[in-house]
Structures are given as C-alpha cells and as structure tokens.
Amino acid sequence: MEAAHKAALAKGEVGIRERKPVSTIAEFGDGEFLTFIESRFAKKPKTLEYYKVGLKRLKGFAPLAKSKLDSIAPTTITDFIDRLRSERLEISTINRILEVLRRILRLSLEWGKIEKVPPKVQMLPGENERDRVLTDDEEARYLAAAAQVGANIKEAYRCALTGIRAHKGETPIKPEDPYLLRDVTTILIDCGLRPEESFRLRWRNVRDGALHVPFGKTENARRSVPLTPRAAALLDMQHRKAITLSEVEAFTLYTLRHTCLTRWSAHMDPYTLAYLAGHSDFSTTRRYVHPQAETVRAAMERVAGARGGHSFGHSKEKAAETPSAPAAVSSNDFSGLSGRGEWIRTTDLLVPNQAL
C-alpha cells in the first residue's frame, strides 16, 4: 500500500488539486460580469451603458477577447491600446475602456475564477482633467458676454421682422428665451449644480428659496431626464459665442461647478460641502476643490498670527483686519475635535492630514 502511494506521488497522480477551467475575457464578460453589472447598476442607466460599451470594445479585439483570464499577456493589453489609439480615440475614452478591463480582472480574482494576480492595467497619462477655476474678473466678463448673446438674439429677431423674407410672407421664429445661457451659467456658478441638473430644472423644483433636484447621477443626487442633442448643441454654440465675446480663455460649463465648490470650501465644513455638491464620497469632493494662491496665503497668515510669528509680507493694517484662525471659522464649532494642539485650515478642507 505504501509503495503504491509513493509510486502515485512520483507519477504526479495524487496530491495535486484538480484545476478548474478558466474562462476567456469574452466568456466571463458575457456571463457573470454582464449579470453583475445589470443587477448592480439597474437604476443607473449611464453607468450600465458605460460598462457595456467598454465590454463591447474588449470583445471587439480578438487577441484579448480570446485570452484566458489567468494568462493575459501584457503585450496583448499593449496591442489593444495601440488599436484604440489608431482609431484616434481621446485618452479619456481609452482610459474608460481600460477601467472596464481592470474591473473584470479584479472581479475574476475576487470571485475565485483565477488563482493568481492578473497583470496590472495602468491608465494612460495625459488625460484632460476639469481642474480650472474662474477668477472673479473672468466670471464677470463671461456673464456680461452671455447677456450680450441674448441681446444679439433679440436684435436679430427684430431685424428679421422687417427683413427680405418677412416681406415675402415668411414669419421669423421668435426666440423662446434669448437669455437662457446667462441664466443657466448664473445657476451653475451660484449653486454648484452639474450642467445637466440645471438643464432639467422645472418650476416645481424651485420652492422655499431652494432648488430641489430629486433624481441624480449618484445615490445622493440622482437625475433621470437626459439633455436632448438639440439643446446641448444650442447651449454649446451660445457658450462658444460668449467665450469669444468675453475674450476669456476657453473653458467647459463644468468649470463653473468647480469654481462654485472651490469658493464654498473656504466657508463651510467638508460634510456640508459634500452634501451640497451631491457627493456620497469625500474623495470625489476633493477633486472639486482647488486651493487658490490668495486663500493659501491667507491661511498661512492665520497660522503665523496664531503662533506670533512672521507675517508673509502683508502690512500691519491688513494683518489687523485678518481674523485669527479660531475666529475665521466661528460659524462652525470645532471645539469638540481632538488632535494636535493647533490646526491649519486651507481652501482644500479635505486634505488627509487635517484635523477635520
């Protein structure tokens, strides 16, 4: 009996666990992964579409689609990226597809479909990020230009009423709201809404001195009504006109949301900021707060004043007008917080090493 066991060990017939068959990217994607995302994101159509589009791209590249989950060569991923680049896709688009691949590999390991760590999927550098904040001067110039766009629309309609086509019996189309762009951008920069949230607002959402957005992108701010292509194209055209008239450096409408939240961050705690922004995770809110030179300098002045140290080049009169650190945040009670003997508060309220 012992001799037979030793012989079986020598032949490799015992002591080795039977290996489970491993699915390919396409098989796992069309099976368990698709079932998972359809269940997980049933109430988030945009997120579900994002995963489905990425999965379709992965299956469209045969060398990757036919690769086993536990034997994907790094060169295969590189070839896949080269294919996407050859289609002249934006870096951001390529990274969204790579994120789907990374999610598939992570879930396959988490669910025990593979036994070894899959290759690391790295995002491409150079992706444009929304990190711009308008200055007060740029805001004033842009809003003035947006108002001028409305005035130009009204003037064009007035001229059309007495123009050649009007004499031929044609009736010009009366603009419904020539100052729509001015109104939308004012709401975006004053209330910090996402552009699509502003476009979906109705009068029933405005009550008690507040804007009520009952549905949105996340669980904290879910929205459901899409912006029509015609409306998106119209607003984009008017936005470009206002950019040209104001001579402000080009920016996207989402920059107005970043501007608003950055300004708010200097005057409220991170919990309130995240709530008003509609974020469920502080890490998301951090990406919307961009410290400005003036507020950073003011914060350093408060630190120096609290420690009785040197000011940073400001006059005594200006220093006298600047409140100390505790007074600067008197609207919020931080007395119950524990931590270091003193704390520093900058525009970026969400830095990891902060007492908040």
What's residue 106's pLDDT? 93
Tokens of 132: 């711009």
Tokens of 163: 């123009």
pTM of the model: 0.46
pLDDT tier for residue 286 given thresholds of 50, 70 and 90 = confident
CA distance linking residue 215 with residue 197, whole number of Å: 9
- Stated as kind and residue range, the H or E segment containing 222 is strand 221-222
Least confident of 16-25, 45-54, 71-80: 16-25
Determine the average pLDDT of the residues in 254-274. 82
What's residue 310's pLDDT? 53
pLDDT tier for residue 348 given thresholds of 50, 70 and 90 = very low
What's residue 108's pLDDT? 93
Q: Any idea what the Cα angle at residue 31 is, between residues 27 and 35, rounded to 5°?
A: 155
- Domain residue ranges of the chain, discontinuous segments joined by +: 25-110, 136-252
CA distance linking residue 96 with residue 139, whole number of Å: 32
Kindly state the percentage of the chain with pLDDT values over 70: 68
pLDDT at 292 over 80: no
Determine the average pLDDT of the residues in 158-177. 81
pLDDT at 76 over 70: yes
pLDDT tier for residue 227 given thresholds of 50, 70 and 90 = very low
Least confident of 45-54, 87-96, 297-306: 297-306
- Mean of all residue pLDDT scores within the chain: 75
How deeply is 104 buried, as exposed, middle or buried, from its count of CB atoms within 10 A (0-12, 13-18, 19+)?
Answer: buried
CA distance linking residue 31 with residue 278, whole number of Å: 33
Q: How many CB atoms lie within 10 A of CB 294?
A: 10
What's residue 141's pLDDT? 93
What's residue 160's pLDDT? 86
Q: State the CATH architecture for 25-110.
A: Orthogonal Bundle (1.10)
- pLDDT tens-digit map of 100-110: 999 999 999 99
Least confident of 97-111, 157-171, 258-272, 333-347: 333-347
Rounded (10°) angle between helices 91-110 and 74-86: 150
pLDDT tier for residue 214 given thresholds of 50, 70 and 90 = low
Determine the average pLDDT of the residues in 158-169. 81
What's residue 337's pLDDT? 37
Q: How many CB atoms lie within 10 A of CB 191?
A: 17
Q: In this structure, are residues 33 and 48 in contact, taking their beta carbons and an 8 Å threshold?
A: no
- pLDDT tens-digit map of 30-53: 999 999 999 998 878 888 999 999
CA distance linking residue 336 with residue 91, whole number of Å: 46
Q: How many CB atoms lie within 10 A of CB 132?
A: 16
pLDDT tier for residue 336 given thresholds of 50, 70 and 90 = very low
pLDDT at 27 over 70: yes
Least confident of 1-10, 43-52, 277-286, 326-335: 326-335
What's residue 2's pLDDT? 67
pLDDT at 187 over 50: yes
Residues 6+ apart with CB under 8 A from 44: none
DSSP string of 267-293? TS-HHHHHHHHT-S-HHHHHTT----H
